[in-house]
Amino acid sequence: MTRIKMCGLHSRADIEAVNEVLPEYAGFVFVPNSHRGVTLDEARALSALLDEVICPVGVFLDAPVAFVAAACDVGAIRMVQLHGREDEAYVAALRKRVSAPIIQAFVVRDAADVQRALACSADYVLLDAGRGDGRAFDWSLVANVQRPFFLAGGLDSGNVAQAVRAVRPFAVDVSSGIETNKTKDIRKMRAFAMAVRAEGEL
Ligand SMILES: O=C(O)c1ccccc1N[C@@H]1O[C@H](COP(=O)(O)O)[C@@H](O)[C@H]1O
């Protein structure tokens, strides 16, 4: 069964939507210049409204370790997604501060990027074309990856079944593909989840 992460929640309506669709993971983006960005207080309040079966994930872009730790400490998130240029020293420093599992994101342009991702010490890797901008990368680059990974970048209800068949990811991660005019769209969220789950039943 391929797990689902729906990312970039920033309103009560978004929380009501994921509580209906029940993805395994929900993402809060702690990136100030993103249209999906949330503050620590906003994330804490929204996270408290999440169905308990959904794991809240914090998405960070080269944030100070102390800030990531604070998000975990206040209970806003239970998993950390590093989506910037964080290195192994950063991951080691973060592990000293938090027990939450760490997902490290890598931009995939070629086979060398995939090898670099596979060598990292994070609990999970996330393979993406960019940073929440709705672009896909060449999935054939990860067709033979053995390590469980989150597949991200340009997924939507129209292409996610093909992606799952092609690369069998641990989880699929979506943000732009479940939005209309930069706002989460419950119909697109339902269609995305249905496409992933139908693939798991084949
Ligand atoms: O969503 C953002 O604004 C964002 C900003 C900075 C880093 C990552 C961000 N989002 C992540 O991007 C991927 C893919 O998103 P999309 O489906 O292509 O829009 C996903 O992992 C988000 O967590």
Q: Which tens digit of pLDDT belongs to each residue from 51-79? A: 999 999 999 999 999 999 999 999 999 99
Mean pLDDT lowest among 38-42, 130-134, 144-148: 130-134
* Crossing angle for the helix pair 40-47 and 12-21, to the nearest 10 degrees: 40
Identify the band that residue 131 occupies on the pLDDT scale cut at 50, 70 and 90: confident
Mutate-to-test residue for ligand 1 from 14, 127, 131, highest number of ligand atoms within 8 A of CB: 131
Q: How many residues does the chain have?
A: 202
With beta carbons less than 8 A apart as the criterion, state whether 184 and 16 touch.
Answer: no
pLDDT attached to residue 201: 61
Provide ipTM, 2 decimals: 0.98
> Quick one: pLDDT at residue 202?
56
Using CA atoms, how far apart are residues 25 and 5, in angstroms rounded to an integer? 4
Share above pLDDT 90 across residues of the chain, in percent, rounded to a whole number: 93
How far is residue 114's CA from residue 142's CA, in Å, rounded to a whole number? 7
Average pLDDT value over all residues in the chain: 96
Give the closest residue to 20 by CA, choosing from 53, 48, 43: 53
The percent of residues above 70 in pLDDT, for the chain, comes to: 99
pLDDT tier at 114, thresholds 50, 70, 90: very high
* Residue 161 token pair: 């079944």
Residues with CB under 6 A from ligand 1: 7-8, 27, 29, 31, 34, 36, 59, 61, 83, 126, 128, 131-134, 152-155, 173-177
Complete domains list, the chain, with CATH: 3-200 (3.20.20.70)
Q: Report whether pLDDT(200) > 80.
A: no
Residue 25 reports pLDDT greater than 90: yes
